[in-house]
Structure 1
Amino acid sequence: MSDAIAEHDSAQMTHRQKIEALVGLLLGMFVAFLSSTVVSIALPEIIKGLHGTTDQYTWIVTATLLASTATTPIWGKFSDLMSKKLLVQISLTVFTLGSVLAGMSQSAGMLIAFRAVQGIGLGGLQALVIIVIASMFSPRERGRYQGPIAAVMSIATVGGPLLGGIITDTSWLGWRWTFYVCVPLAIIALVVIQRTLNVPTIRKPGVSIDYLGATLIAGGVVVLLIWVTLAGKSFAWASGTSVLLAGLGAILLILAVLAEGKLLNRFLPNFLKVHDPLIPLHLFRDRTTTLATLASVAVGVALFGSAVFLGQYFQLGRGYSPTIAGLLTLPMVGGSLIFATVSGGLITKFGRWKIFLVTGGILMTIGFALLATINGHTNMLLVGLFLFILGAGMGMTMQNLILPVQNAAPAESLGVATSTVTFFRSLGGAAGVSVLGAVLATHVKDLTVSGLTAMGHALVPSLGAPGAMAKVAACGKLLSAGIAGDLPSDCAAVQQTAFGDGVPTIFLIAAVMSALALVAIAFIKEVGLKTLTPLEEQQQAAEAMAGLSPEESPEVVAAEGLMAAGVAKRHQTDSAAEVTRG
């Protein structure tokens, strides 16, 4: 800490300025998460409008997840090296540019490329907003604002499909506005942040950018996510292509670990040597960071993976319109909003956080387990109750999980510690979407085959056995793309049953992942929340050092302490000897 320095953009922020800046940051966060979910409802219409394929349907989502996940730790590291305000503005600008270009796309390939641009900006926003808020408020005070933060995330994550449904169902707007709608909000956030945000950059002198680590981490993550996305669709899981991609991704990540541990430096030229790792491995010596990271991966798989398929359950499994499907997610939004706000306020009041994380993990697990019992005919009031329970768990867990990590991190490592947890949560979400998507596609295909086979008496006489299988393949292709409007009448009932009974399987897997997250949370040791901001910590340490005389320097004090301990030990030995002689 004593080596850290603080670089100010200007005068220190007042409390009013902090609140005004918080509004701009929350707006930026809202835009980031809204962009991820508002498009999900419109995907069937987007594929139809751009004449895309089933594989491209998946990549429209995956491209953003890949780019955001791979760049999150890079943004976090930059936040420890340069102006956080400038980085937030850059990420918002990149995101806005990607949104405009995505809305102007003329083909599915163009859209996928511009969604990746969106993802780069999204990766910055996901990490930087949390980092900047942590820079402005102490961990104890931060609990008060965890409610609004988690509420914004939940409303955007779950309310996005509602907005996407309204846009898609409005003839004079169309699917392109699912990309354009975020642009005005991003511009407003830029203006507010420019006028109000002013946080220092706390860093150590002589640090450098870890280009090798960034390349290896991003490359390894992208290759592995491409593997889990395409395996089972474009090639078999046990194929040579699958082995090649899995092996390449594993090798890149192993090299990344060796590079971040500085074990490769002796073999590298000077310009590639790692002096300041992108993800310092020493962070994981802290039990809190390690367990929170493991919990974040599990939470990411459960929440992000299942949220993508919730809209498919309502639309394709129950036959509701996009707008109604969005409205049906409101119980989850309400549960998240209420419990995030209440738990955040109580954390600030009492300074205790673990009870809320544990309770949230329990509610999440119960919520997903209950959703795993539904099918295509479950009473919607019961589904709404299950979603409310899940939302309550989300509100208490999602954002509060970062708090103990930030509380344990030194001021100069706040950015990288926060982005590390965010990175692994995003990684879990990206992998969850891909893997759960593959599981759902296989399960729905099996249910489709079973359903059409049961109708065989109506299909086989007119089509013959080969014709019946062709019908299965045709229906399966349309079903996997979610193009309900193009289904033949004899496939419609099969489609609804397959998705209505198939999607709950995803919730069962999410329940298992939530339970694993709960176990990790249970083993995190609760430490009292600090009452100083990172800058105040650094200033207090500097003042304490400045107030010491040369004789009171840390080295002299330490040496005197050792000498005193030695004298005391000898005194105890002499006393014991006298007692023995006596």
Structure 2
Amino acid sequence: MTTQQSAAVPEEPVVELGKPDEFEQRPHREIRLVMVGLVITMLLAMLDNLIVGTAMPRIVGELNGAEHMSWVVTAYTLATAASTPIWGKVGDLYGRKGSFLVSIAIFLLGSALSGMSQTMTQLIAFRAVQGLGAGGLMVGVMSIMGALVPPRDRGKYQGMFAAVMALATVGGPLIGGFITDHLNWRWTFYVNLPLGAIALVFIVVVLKLPKVRSTAKIDYFGAALLTVGIVAAVLVTTWGGHEYAWGSKQILGLAALGVASLIGFCYVEQRVAEPVIPLQLFRNRNFTMVSIIGFIVGFSMFGAVTFLPTYQQIVQGASATNSGLLLMPMMFGMLVVSLAVGQAITKTGKYRIYPIIGTAVMAGGSLLLSTLAVDTGKFASSCYMVVLGAGMGFLMQVTMLVAQNSVEMKDMGVASSSATLFRTIGGSFGVALFGTLFVNQVNGSVKHLPPEVLQKMAEQGGGGEGMSAMNPATMKSLPPEAVGAYQHGIANGMHTVFLWGAVISVVAVAAALFIREVKLRGGADAAEAKAEAALEGAL
């Protein structure tokens, strides 16, 4: 089987693709200017759902579509997850700059159309368009940085992305609340347009990458199978236990479809010239191990982000208005550690120890959070969150760094999209499975209450499993024994969720122990790194 080669057109500075250890030396000023565009784009990708989530009650009230509200998020998530690996492959085959600009343009088009929506159906459709573009944003950011900056020097810049993540998590709900209260919910989408325009200008004017023309064709059949498999998996985790029972024919049918599609995808990918995700990448031990770790990081991180605000609002009485600020301790731990680790990797070129420490600290943070109770103070819970955030800080950028260092330059987009995809799917599974455990604990704690009280709680929470998401403001109308039982249920749910998170994190610790120290490409070590990478691929 032969692989079709790509020919570069020297209209811009050309980097010879396919050589894993060669990076064109770029002026620091050029890299810093490109990073401005990349950071703004990453901010767009992370802010969107957080801002829109705050405005959802107002959107539903105006468009009269409460029964379809979940699809506003689900359509975006499905389109993002399904398109992520395809964007990575398109960038590798036809040029990363062009595919990145197209993804930004699609995202902005979807944003503008979403803001102009007149019905819930239109909004859901346009959110899917927006999600298609969003799938290429994070992949483009990471693969372009991978093409511009040698792994040895990448630690200088990874702290910027950790800071963007912290800013988006804290600022998203605040911005969304301000826009909803003082402007109009449509501006939660329109706000993307000026930011996106600035990012486009920086990328078009400053970024210089090879323009690649390839005679190779996208593996459309494999891409279709992968898309079906990802969509089925996300729908199983989104609908399971909510829209349909876990044992229902709908969920079991989706699960069977997802498994069959992914098996078919693996079969096809071994027989095509340009696979969407080359399966031989998983023969590289480091690539496989960081993929497992990335999945578990997504699993734990999204679980924490989803359930911690509920505990702090319901049990600790924190304000819901500034819900983004509730996660500040975790983001602070993540940001500080990520900055320190990035500088240390740049200075020493060593990275193996950080995934080991990070997974162990993440497991410890989850174990500490599993001790949350009704009487746990805010200072103690904040300290536990700092520990969990620190563990993630050791891992968030290092996993991407190791994944990119494990492949040749021609597969940089695939490596970036795979790392992003595993983290996204991990988050989807984490929220779904933890959500089921959480709801069961809450319902089990209040089931002894009088029927009329249970009915009132169900009405406030949206019915059935909605009791786990009751409005803190309206809980004052409940009898004291109901409030106490509900708070104990929330605390029990947190204990169960984070205890299982700690157990699952042990798998990540085991995976981290199998990572080999392959020297990072760049600098005087390039030749030795090439030899070690070849040896690693043969093991």
Q: TM-score, normalised by structure 1?
A: 0.80
1:489 & 1:106 partners in 2: Cα distance?
36
CA contact (8 A) 1:99 1:114 kept: yes
Change (3 A) 1:374 1:49: farther
Report the counterpart of residue 140 of structure 1 in structure 2: 152
Report the counterpart of residue 197 of structure 2 in structure 1: 187
Change (3 A) 1:509 1:390: same
- The answer to whether residue 124 in structure 2 is matched with residue 112 in structure 1 is yes
Report the counterpart of residue 522 of structure 1 in structure 2: 513
Deviation at 1:81, TM superposition (A): 1.2
1:305 & 1:174 partners in 2: Cα distance?
30
**Larger Rg over CA atoms:** 1
Give the root-mean-square deviation of aligned CA atoms: 3.0
Deviation at 1:256, TM superposition (A): 0.8
**Residue type matched to 2:516 in 1?**
K
Change (3 A) 1:93 1:443: farther
Report the counterpart of residue 410 of structure 2 in structure 1: 412
Change (3 A) 1:394 1:40: farther
- The answer to whether residue 15 in structure 2 is matched with residue 27 in structure 1 is no
CA contact (8 A) 1:331 1:388 kept: yes
Report the counterpart of residue 155 of structure 1 in structure 2: 167
Change (3 A) 1:102 1:497: farther
**Residue type matched to 2:478 in 1?**
D
Report the counterpart of residue 253 of structure 1 in structure 2: 262
| 252-261 vs 32-41, which moves further | 32-41
Give CA deviations for 1:2-53 in whole Å, capped at 9, x if unaligned: 9665444424653321221111111111111122333344445555555554
Change (3 A) 1:487 1:386: closer
Partner of residue 326 from structure 2, selected from 325, 328, 331: 328
Deviation at 1:484, TM superposition (A): 4.7
CA contact (8 A) 1:146 1:341 kept: yes
**Residue type matched to 2:330 in 1?**
M
1:116 & 1:442 partners in 2: Cα distance?
32
Change (3 A) 1:367 1:48: farther
- The answer to whether residue 466 in structure 2 is matched with residue 474 in structure 1 is no
Q: Secondary structure at the match of 2:93?
A: coil
Report the counterpart of residue 558 of structure 1 in structure 2: none
2:406 & 2:43 partners in 1: Cα distance?
27
CA contact (8 A) 1:65 1:430 kept: no
Change (3 A) 1:469 1:317: closer
User: How is 1:167-182 mapped onto 2 (pairs within 5 angstroms)?
Assistant: 167-168=179-180, 171-173=181-183, 175-182=185-192
- The answer to whether residue 478 in structure 2 is matched with residue 490 in structure 1 is yes
| 343-352 vs 472-481, which moves further | 472-481
CA contact (8 A) 2:309 2:326 kept: no
Partner of residue 388 from structure 1, selected from 383, 386, 389: 386
Deviation at 1:74, TM superposition (A): 0.1
User: How is 1:563-582 mapped onto 2 (pairs within 5 angstroms)?
Assistant: none
Report the counterpart of residue 10 of structure 1 in structure 2: 12
Q: Secondary structure at the match of 1:322?
A: coil
2:101 & 2:498 partners in 1: Cα distance?
37
Partner of residue 359 from structure 1, selected from 345, 354, 357: 357
Give CA deviations for 1:190-209 in whole Å, capped at 9, x if unaligned: 12111111112578x54221
Report the counterpart of residue 566 of structure 1 in structure 2: none
User: How is 1:285-324 mapped onto 2 (pairs within 5 angstroms)?
Assistant: 285-324=283-322
Change (3 A) 1:69 1:226: same
Deviation at 1:414, TM superposition (A): 1.5
Change (3 A) 1:77 1:399: same
Identity %: 40
Q: When the two structures are aligned, how many residues end up with a matched partner? A: 509
Change (3 A) 1:23 1:472: closer
Change (3 A) 1:325 1:500: farther
Change (3 A) 1:295 1:112: same
Change (3 A) 1:437 1:119: farther
CA contact (8 A) 1:141 1:531 kept: yes
Q: Secondary structure at the match of 2:94?
A: coil
**Residue type matched to 2:114 in 1?**
A
Report the counterpart of residue 350 of structure 1 in structure 2: 348
Deviation at 1:512, TM superposition (A): 2.8
CA contact (8 A) 1:165 1:321 kept: no
Deviation at 1:107, TM superposition (A): 4.7
Q: Secondary structure at the match of 2:280?
A: helix
CA contact (8 A) 1:69 1:430 kept: no
CA contact (8 A) 1:363 1:392 kept: yes
2:71 & 2:256 partners in 1: Cα distance?
22
- The answer to whether residue 102 in structure 2 is matched with residue 90 in structure 1 is yes
Report the counterpart of residue 503 of structure 2 in structure 1: 512
Partner of residue 211 from structure 1, selected from 205, 208, 220: 220
Report the counterpart of residue 80 of structure 1 in structure 2: 92
| 174-183 vs 191-200, which moves further | 174-183
| 24-33 vs 99-108, which moves further | 99-108
2:131 & 2:307 partners in 1: Cα distance?
20
2:417 & 2:102 partners in 1: Cα distance?
17
| 436-445 vs 86-95, which moves further | 436-445
Give CA deviations for 1:441-484 in whole Å, capped at 9, x if unaligned: 3333333434xx1xx3xxxxxxxx5x566445434525456545
Structure 1: give runs of 5+ residues left out of the alignment. 263-273, 457-464, 542-582
